[in-house]
Amino acid sequence: MKIVVIGDGKIGFTLTQALVQEGHDLVVIDNRRDALTQTEDSLDVQVLEGNGASASVQKLAGVPDSDLLIAVTSADETNLLCCMVARQLGCPNTIARIRSPEYTEDVYLLKDSLGLSMTVNPERSTAKAIHGLLQYPSFLKRDSFAKGRAEIVEVSVRENGKLDGILLADLYRTLKIRVLVCAAERGGKVYIPDGRFRLQAGDHIYVTAAMSDLVSFAKSIGLEMPRVRSVMLIGGSRIAVYLAQMLIQSGIDVKIIESSLERCDALSEQLPKAEIIRGDGTAFPILRQEGIEEMDAVVALTNLDEQNIIISMYANHIQIPKVVCKINRTEYTSILPDSVVDCAITPRVLTANGILRYVRAMQNRPGEGVITLHRLVGEKVEALEFQVTDSTWYVNKPLRDVPVKEDIRVALITRRGAIIVPGGDDYMQAGDTVVVVTTAARSFDVLNDCFAEAPRGGRN
């Protein structure tokens, strides 16, 4: 598809990079020549310097003949205007980045009246992801499927723990809980494991099932599932506001450390039920004075990755039960050991993945595209949810007889609201949703792409 991206900042570059990898034809617009030069040198895309909200600039970029325009500048109003202009020029699909809480509350009205195909709010999406982690603090990562009925969670294999040395074929026999290990990372290498894979201490594994079974799984392997009652947020950003609202609504006590007096005043007005403290969140004496050692969780949300990493290191050192670190630079997450940052959140990646899911769905007939997409293991693995339709191959066939491509696992089947962790005797039916897991280097748009060959003598 031909796609125009307006805004070449952190999110714009990450999104452009992902779309280029998908094989799309891209034009990037920004009014900063230095940013465009870096993008042009790094990626195979066309760039155009100028005001992306200008009709003449959009015409030069080929917006009237494009399939999609994505506006991700730092200003909500600019993004909305870009999309309005694009629709007037004939672009059929537009996506706007909307950050303001005021606009977010009216998102459905905005979509209908302005003709937006989709809106994205990186800060709210990040807060939602962190809130999910704090609900079940023993999990390092959580991703939802089947409208929240099932999840994939990340856990680490502890030395001499119940999982250490176990063969995956023996997992159910050992735990008596129906879960599936759909991906694993060991020493920087990614595996889509089968029953012959033997777990080792230090492995990071991604386990899928209904959420109730995942909680039972965590308890059975000795992971504590304590309830978080108090959280310290360090940095009073938009993410902190969204997250604090979610936490307070869940009955959790929230304390925010923020260095700016002006920002503290604004936070006090927005969050009357939170405790707002003016102070330097990187100063450990201040954190101790404000009771960090009594907290159930600490979330580092300053604007600097380096500060967030230092705060997380300190929180881990004093054994805070749950520590979450916001990191903008994706290259940091791949080199930091678990002892420094065991739970990192990257807003730009969350946003790019949400848009990528929509772009993939655009390329297919209604009901056949990707419903949900999550990237795991440092973006090296994809978990994709598809609808099973009348045009899907191999319906009603036992999965053991279905030829799937290498490094693909059918991880979940949802049927009339019930979650099935599939074995060889299970099968797909029209109307089911199916989650498949594969390496991210392979891009699938429809479920049939996952099969090694078409069935002989007919659809099934």
pLDDT at 432: 94
* Residue percentage of the chain with pLDDT more than 70: 93
Q: Are residues 180 and 165 in the same domain?
A: yes
> Cα separation of 136 and 351, whole Å?
23
pLDDT at 430: 92
Q: Are residues 55 and 110 in the same domain?
A: yes
* Residue percentage of the chain with pLDDT more than 90: 69
Residue recorded with tokens 């099934």: 460
pLDDT confidence band for 220 (50 / 70 / 90): very high
Confirm whether 110 is domain-assigned: yes
Confirm whether 266 is domain-assigned: yes
pLDDT at 368: 64
> Cα separation of 186 and 431, whole Å?
36
Q: Are residues 104 and 150 in the same domain?
A: no
pLDDT at 22: 84
Do residues 261 and 255 make contact, with C-beta atoms less than 8 angstroms apart?
no
Confirm whether 93 is domain-assigned: yes
Q: Are residues 213 and 266 in the same domain?
A: no
145, 336, 345, 460 from 378: Cα distances, Å: 19, 12, 11, 36
CA angle 12, 361, 378 (to 5 degrees): 50
Average of per-residue pLDDT across 151-177:
93
pLDDT at 442: 67
Confirm whether 329 is domain-assigned: no
Confirm whether 336 is domain-assigned: no
pLDDT at 376: 85
pLDDT at 272: 96
Q: Are residues 136 and 92 in the same domain?
A: no
Using the predicted structure, report yes or no on whether residue 138 has a pLDDT greater than 90.
Answer: no
Lowest mean pLDDT across 80-84, 141-145, 304-308: 141-145
Average of per-residue pLDDT across 275-280:
96
From 220, 242, 272, the end of a domain falls on 220
Q: Are residues 249 and 164 in the same domain?
A: no
The CATH number linked to 404 is 3.30.70.1450
Which range, 142-151, 233-242, 368-377, is most confident? 233-242
Mean per-residue pLDDT over the chain, rounded: 90
Do residues 403 and 452 make contact, with C-beta atoms less than 8 angstroms apart?
yes
Lowest mean pLDDT across 103-117, 126-140, 216-230, 255-269: 103-117
| Parent domain of 214 | 127-220
Using the predicted structure, report yes or no on whether residue 459 has a pLDDT greater than 60.
Answer: no
> Cα separation of 256 and 234, whole Å?
6
The angle that helices 347-362 and 10-21 make with each other, rounded to 10 degrees, is 40
Q: Are residues 309 and 371 in the same domain?
A: no
- Tell me which of 429 and 354 has the higher pLDDT: 429
pLDDT tens-digit map of 313-352:
999 999 999 999 999 887 776 666 655 677 889 998 889 8
Q: Are residues 99 and 8 in the same domain?
A: yes
Using the predicted structure, report yes or no on whether residue 457 has a pLDDT greater than 80.
Answer: no
> Cα separation of 101 and 121, whole Å?
9
> Cα separation of 114 and 15, whole Å?
23
Q: Are residues 205 and 241 in the same domain?
A: no
Q: Are residues 116 and 131 in the same domain?
A: no
Average of per-residue pLDDT across 215-224:
89
Average of per-residue pLDDT across 159-179:
93
Listed in sequence order, the residues at least 6 apart from 100 whose beta carbon sits closer than 8 Å to its beta carbon are: 76
Using the predicted structure, report yes or no on whether residue 67 has a pLDDT greater than 80.
Answer: yes
From 185, 220, 255, the end of a domain falls on 220
pTM: 0.85
pLDDT at 340: 64
Confirm whether 331 is domain-assigned: no
Confirm whether 334 is domain-assigned: no
- Tell me which of 454 and 459 has the higher pLDDT: 454
pLDDT at 273: 96
pLDDT at 364: 61
18, 374, 391 from 352: Cα distances, Å: 7, 10, 29
Q: Are residues 136 and 209 in the same domain?
A: yes
The CATH number linked to 109 is 3.40.50.720
pLDDT confidence band for 108 (50 / 70 / 90): low
From 320, 341, 363, the end of a domain falls on 320
Q: Are residues 311 and 400 in the same domain?
A: no
pLDDT confidence band for 184 (50 / 70 / 90): very high
> Cα separation of 387 and 231, whole Å?
38
Give the strand order in the sheet containing 204-210.
141-145, 150-156, 204-210, 180-186, 189-191
What's the total number of domains in the chain?
Answer: 4
Confirm whether 327 is domain-assigned: no
pLDDT at 168: 94
pLDDT tens-digit map of 431-453:
999 999 998 766 677 899 899 98
Q: Which of 271, 239, 237, 238 is nearest to 254 (CA)?
A: 271
pLDDT at 111: 73
Using the predicted structure, report yes or no on whether residue 235 has a pLDDT greater than 90.
Answer: yes
Average of per-residue pLDDT across 235-252:
96
Question: CB atoms < 10 A from the CB of 16, how many?
Answer: 26
